Amino acid sequence: MKILMVSAEAVPFAKTGGLADAVSALAIELTNMGHDVKIVLPRYYKIDRSKLEQLEGPMAVAAGQVETWTAVYKTAMPGCSKLPVYFIDHEGCFGRDGIYGTRSETDFHDNPYRFAVLCHGAFQLCRKLGWFPDIVHAHDWSACLAPVLLKHVCRFCGFEKTASVLTIHNQGYQGQYGKDQFPALGIDWGLYYGAGLEHEGGINFLQGGVSSADMITTVSPTYASEIQTMEGGFGMDGLLRVRHDVIRGIVNGADTSQWNPSVDKRIPFTYSLKDMSGKAKCKAELQKRMGLPVRPDVPVIGMVTRLVDQKGIAEVFAPTYGSLYQICAEMDIQFVVLGSGEKWCENEINALQSKLGNMRAYIGYDENLSHLIEAGSDFFLMPSRYEPCGLNQIYSMLYGTLPIVRRTGGLADTVQNYNQETGDGTGFMFDQLTPRAIYDTVGWAVWAYYNRKDHIKKMQQKGMQSYFGWDVAAKQYLDVYKEALYRGCGI
């Protein structure tokens, strides 16, 4: 199949979160399976043009109210020479720091125009190359104009045998802007309502994509159900229920070339299921690194997270009712956290570690430390309010670290709850996001650590034997692509 991935980000070129990892990993896997895949991205300021190949001639793009002229650059995906990555180059749109915004301007005011240039440019690129895909695969709200354009503008202009798939990586981000921004999209005003872009008097990119795509995927089966509820739909649950027959949930794979304790170059000692001695050494190194007493007998609970509401930070860290102070004060444990985000939370974490002798934090991000926390911890806490897929719980299991998670989204689909009678399971789960539920579940895990060491070992072994390869997800996406072609083109 010929597949065009349209995205605002893809590693190693541009990344704000797991979307970037998923786009590249899926494209690489499909390419390795023999499919003809191309990725199209904006060329952001930090992507060095001198390392790219420029395609001959400028390219006209119909975004905005007048024709926009862009350049196009190309390179091969590192580690996969058969996968080309194309960059739409427009200095006014993308020649700045940030993908969606910066600290001073968290959401660029001209994002509708910027991502209209990307989506119009994707179709123009196909025409320029004389390459017409079977599937246009759009990722998240910033690429949602692509399915709108295919259905309402391009399908009978060379793309008659092309279908669209939209992957929702996070329903909480929808791309909502004022109605005055609609002319920036470069489409007829009739499509304001006709393409489903109108939302509460403004425009909603994700809603337009959901209305127009031939098939819709999310990044786990449970999340596919959750976005169709009032709580998880963020105002779009009604539309998603209407389109329930085209929604599929596919769990993301994990990049085991980067996350594998037997070959991980970012941890001081490697280890495997056959020889776990390296994990104990990593635990000692983590304790030293974080300034904690080196105690092999105490359970270490790790947390690597963005400090935002989605991750359940208030229930863990809030000064008035957060569970962490009580956990650290009343249980014989050590707790380490790595993350950054909301200022109140950063301040509270710093205050907590000044009060508690068994809790340490690193505010910011450090890739090596994130790997060490996964390897050196006994448990990993993920109390997410919602979690479309999640990767840290997968990494934890692969590293023999037992996740403590809320039963939601991809966490529910990947973690098997502990059975206290048999010792089966790969982690510990709770349902209600409350400080008490977090406290009780951490306490349950700590009790098992001290009293059911055989169960802990059995769970570690099962987690490390889990398989989360991208080949599984890629095969499921191919089924979705075939259904999209049937629904969209009758093929």
| Rounded-to-integer distance, Cα 146 and Cα 62, Å | 13
How many CA atoms does the CB half-sphere of 296 hold within 13 Å? 6
Residues 6+ apart with CB under 8 A from 361: 336, 337, 338, 339, 349, 350, 352, 353
pLDDT, position 372: 98
- How confident is residue 2, by pLDDT bands cut at 50, 70 and 90? very high
Which has the closest alpha carbon to 292: 337, 344, 346?
A: 337
Handedness of CA 116, 121, 126, 128 (dihedral sign): positive
Structure confidence by residue, pLDDT tens digits, 93-127? 999 989 999 988 989 999 999 999 999 999 999 99
Q: Is 437 exposed, middle or buried (0-12, 13-18, 19+ CB in 10 A)?
A: middle
Structure confidence by residue, pLDDT tens digits, 301-319? 999 999 999 999 999 999 8
What percentage of the chain exceeds 90 in pLDDT?
95
What SS3 state is found at 434?
Answer: coil
Predicted confidence (pLDDT) at residue 18 exceeds the cutoff of 90: no
Quote the Cα angle for 155-486-150, to 5°: 20
- How confident is residue 173, by pLDDT bands cut at 50, 70 and 90? very high
| Rounded-to-integer distance, Cα 411 and Cα 375, Å | 19
> What is the C-alpha end-to-end distance of the chain, expressed in Å?
13
| Rounded-to-integer distance, Cα 134 and Cα 119, Å | 16
Structure confidence by residue, pLDDT tens digits, 370-390? 999 999 999 999 999 999 999
Report cis status (omega within 30 of 0) of the bond before 12: yes
Residues 6+ apart with CB under 8 A from 36: 1, 2, 3
Size of the chain, expressed as the number of residues it contains: 491
Q: Give me the amino acid identity at 218.
A: T
| Rounded-to-integer distance, Cα 196 and Cα 184, Å | 16
Residue given tokens 């966490």 in the structure block: 411
Structure confidence by residue, pLDDT tens digits, 443-458? 999 999 999 999 999 9
Predicted confidence (pLDDT) at residue 91 exceeds the cutoff of 90: yes
Residue given tokens 């704000």 in the structure block: 16
pLDDT, position 307: 95
| Rounded-to-integer distance, Cα 100 and Cα 106, Å | 7
Predicted confidence (pLDDT) at residue 351 exceeds the cutoff of 90: yes
Six-digit token string for 403 = 């996740």
Which has the closest alpha carbon to 18: 369, 465, 387, 473?
A: 387
Average pLDDT, the chain: 96
The structure's pTM equals 0.94
Q: Which DSSP category does 40 fall into?
A: E
Structure confidence by residue, pLDDT tens digits, 241-300? 999 999 999 999 998 888 999 999 999 999 999 999 999 999 999 999 999 999 999 999
Which has the closest alpha carbon to 6: 135, 191, 127?
A: 135
Quote the Cα angle for 153-154-158, to 5°: 150
